[in-house]
Amino acid sequence: MRIFRLTAASLFLAALCVLPAYGQGTTRPASPTSAPQTGGSTGAVGDAKIAVIDTGMFFDQKQGIARFNVLLTNLNREFQPRQTELDGMRTRITQLTDEIQKQQGAGVVDQKSLQAKADQLDQLKKDYQRKGEDATALYNKRRQEIFGPLQEDIGKAIEAFARQRGITIIIDAAQVPVLYAADSVDITRAFIQEYNSKNPATASTAAPGR
């Protein structure tokens, strides 16, 4: 059973696209000061044992899932040349715009020179838009290729974590508004610690299952 949906957040191409983020409009449970004890630490309703996990914490650079951060770093490094090219084009667009505005405000205008710069600016904007869209599409495709297996791996690990502790229901606080949850039912840190210990980032930089 799929327990959660993992969305890889990134700052890459931030000027061109806005990536989805966890936790919008939700109230997350307070993080426990210590990891919950195995067994008996989850809430119980009838025969069900309930726990809360905040998958948004998986992306935390210091306390999150280490493999995620390694894969994200590698992905951004792969696309850095494209980012650098786009940054250069954006800078040139700004420069040309300023030059045209200054030339128009100078009083005596060389119309031929002004038109040449205007044509150059128009073409540069079109190229920037096209390359930006291509880079964003390719980045999203690669992101899915890389993080899809990690999502599946983490999902299986959460299920195994729950079965070992007799947990029958896990609520994702990053997806479902949680008005209140005692620290004793928050398994976020305990799961992250266990996953990192079994899947150290230094062991492999490839996506799980590759």
Helix (H/G/I), strand (E/B), else coil: 128: helix
Burial class for 184, CB neighbours closer than 10 Å (0-12, 13-18, 19+): middle
pLDDT at 126 over 80: yes
Q: Look at 71 and 104; give whichever has higher pLDDT.
A: 71
Q: Look at 43 and 143; give whichever has higher pLDDT.
A: 143
Give domain status of residue 37, yes or no.
no
Give domain status of residue 85, yes or no.
yes
In the chain, how many domains are there?
1
Give the pLDDT confidence of 42-90 residue by residue, as tens digits: 665 556 799 999 999 999 988 999 999 899 999 999 999 999 999 999 9
Give domain status of residue 21, yes or no.
no
Question: Which ranges of the chain would DSSP assign to H, the alpha helix?
Answer: 66-78, 80-104, 111-164, 188-198
Give domain status of residue 27, yes or no.
no
Give the mean pLDDT of 136-141.
95
List the CATH number of the domain containing 103.
3.30.910.20
Predicted local confidence at residue 134, as pLDDT:
96
Give domain status of residue 78, yes or no.
yes
Give domain status of residue 8, yes or no.
no
pLDDT at 102 over 90: no
Give domain status of residue 183, yes or no.
yes
Domain extent, residue 78, equals 43-203
Give domain status of residue 5, yes or no.
no
Give the mean pLDDT of 82-111.
88
Decide: 177 and 25 in contact? Cβ < 8 Å.
yes
Among candidate residues 139, 174, 172, 175, the one with its CA nearest the CA of residue 50: 172
Among candidate residues 210, 205, 207, the one with its CA nearest the CA of residue 70: 205
% of the chain at pLDDT higher than 90: 56
CA distance 135 to 67: 24
% of the chain at pLDDT higher than 70: 73
Q: Which of 85-94, 109-118, 192-201 has the lowest mean pLDDT?
A: 109-118
